[in-house]
Amino acid sequence: MMAASMGQSPTMEASLSLPVLVKPGKMCYTSSGHQMRRMQRLRRRWQRQGCLAEPVQASSSNGVSRSSVAKPVLETHAWDATFSQASHLAQPYRGSKLPTPPNRLRIFSGTSNPALAQEVACYLGLDLSSIKIKRFADGEIYVQVQESIRGCDVFLVQPSCPPVNDHLMELLVTIDACKRASARSITAVIPYYGYARADRKTQGRESIAAKLTANLLTEAGANRVLAMDLHSGQCVGYFDIPVDHVYGDSVILDYLASKRISTGELVVVSPDVGGVARARAFAKKLNDAPLAIVDKRRSAHNVSEVMNLIGDVKDKVAVLVDDMIDTAGTITNAAKVLHAEGAREVYACATHAVFSPPAVERLSSGVFQEVIVTNTIPVSQEKSFPELTVLSVANLLGETIWRVYNSSSVMSLF
């Protein structure tokens, strides 16, 4: 056993020809016992990675040739104290750019909205991580992660938009695949959270599918959920894991500000009584704009009957605010009432563009000056119409993901 002196190349016995791990401020490992076996394993690993200096021949003081390990190109290495000892392998500096530690942040996309996931990854300066998703002939879903994510913080971008059941099951299977691949944490990024409308029992013998969905995500292995504009805020309480509830109204408000509409001309309208809290918060961010409410009576699912208007909209620019537009029955009937009450223009603003038939026909019938939605759900070309404006929430989601990853405050975004 030989000790390495400071300022000289560390040496070992010729019969072993083992490398020495050089780490500033630390003693070199010796070749005895378990350390010798450990160094042999490290040597094989370094050889595979191509970062091991080849042994060179040097002469000792008595003229006998012995084996030593060549100095690396530079003796300065980048050490990251936050990583484990396994990532402290000696990587010599080989260029003008300092070596950087491996990034633990991974962004994966499902098949429901890959365009949004790509935008989020671009905001973060990352490429989407590789994943293989396919469906068998009988409809079963197969998922395989195509790269190592051991010890990584994984964010899966997958809104449960139509077909809801397929995309939800795909998300569950993907979470399971990441869990079995030893991801350190798994965050399900669900811009549109399906089944959120089934948040309570309105009649006997009904299910509460929002709670069931929360249980499924937790049991699959998700450690955190990031959702945008849940239909009901109480859905957050259905989870036993942390939930970051992101609001997309900031994106819509920025767009409305660009239209230079006078605050005195604006009135924010809730299309039903259940959305009053959402509309009031929206109006507060518009310099406390006036609030109006359209009272409706729903006779069946996806069928609504407008009753009356609470508030004054005469000669005003009315902004209808809702979390989603499904068949557009509620918001279209509300717009007709607003026009009948003297509103000059009517804008429809919603985060989620579900657009189930006959939504497009209703929205493009001429009752709206503009329909403003976001890309939490992809809007196909077949569902586009002249009055439609689609805003991107990628930067908002990307910033939220970055803050979650760095354990920073998310509340300050809103």
Q: Which two tokens stand for residue 198?
A: 């089934």
My answer on whether 130 and 140 are in the same domain is yes
Is 120 in the same domain as 225? yes
The residue among 79, 101, 123 that closes a domain is 101
The widest CA-to-CA distance across the chain, in whole angstroms, is 106
Clarify whether residues 244 and 142 are in a common domain. yes
Could you tell me the CA-to-CA distances from 140 to 35, 122, 194, 352 in Å, in that order? Answer: 49, 31, 20, 27
Question: Could you give the number of structural domains in the chain?
Answer: 3
- Are residues 113 and 142 both part of a single domain? yes
Read off the pLDDT of each residue in 231-247 and give the average, rounded to a whole number: 94
In this predicted model, which residue has the larger pLDDT, 312 or 99? 312
Q: Which of 26-30, 116-120, 158-162, 346-350 has the lowest mean pLDDT?
A: 26-30
Q: Are residues 260 and 236 in the same domain?
A: no
Share of the chain above pLDDT 70, in %: 73
pLDDT-derived band at 298, boundaries 50, 70, 90: low
Q: pLDDT of 327-379, one tens digit each?
A: 999 999 999 999 999 999 999 999 999 999 999 999 999 999 999 999 999 99
Residues 266 and 332 in one domain: yes
CATH number at residue 349: 3.40.50.2020
Q: Where are the beta strands (DSSP E) in 81-166?
A: 105-109, 131-135, 141-145, 153-157
Same domain, 77 and 200: no
Considering the domain architecture, whether residues 95 and 122 belong to the same structural domain is answered as no
What was the pLDDT predicted at 263? 82
- Over residues 379-404, the pLDDT tens digits come to 999 999 999 999 999 999 999 999 99
Least confident range from 76-85, 273-282, 358-367: namely 76-85
pLDDT digits (tens, 9 = 90+) for 177-200: 999 999 999 999 999 999 999 999
Q: What is the DSSP string of 63-97?
A: S-EEEEEPPPS-S-----TTS-GGGG------SSS
The answer to whether the Cα torsion of 275, 281, 283, 285 is positive or negative is: negative
Task: Provide the 10 A C-beta neighbour count for residue 219.
Answer: 11
Chain segment 11-61, per-residue pLDDT in tens:
333 333 333 333 333 334 343 455 556 556 656 665 655 554 444 444 444
* Residue at which a domain ends, from 52, 80, 101: 101
Q: How do 303-310 and 291-300 pair as beta strands?
A: antiparallel
Same domain for 171 and 114? yes
Residue 56 sits in the same domain as residue 176: no
pLDDT of residue 255 exceeding 60: yes
How far apart are the C-alpha atoms of 338 and 294, rounded to whole Å?
A: 9
Quick one: 201 exposed, middle or buried, by C-beta within 10 A (0-12, 13-18, 19+)?
exposed
Task: Please check whether residue 183 is in contact with residue 152, taking contact to mean a CB–CB distance below 8 angstroms.
Answer: yes
Q: Is the pLDDT of residue 296 over 50?
A: yes
Domain ends where: 82, 101, 120?
101
**245 exposed, middle or buried (CB, 10 Å; 0-12, 13-18, 19+)?**
middle
- pLDDT at site 202: 87
Q: 253 and 118 in one domain?
A: no
The number of angstroms, rounded, from the C-alpha of 204 to the middle of its chain's C-alpha atoms is 37
364 and 401 inside one domain:
no
| Containing structural domain, residue 4 | 1-101
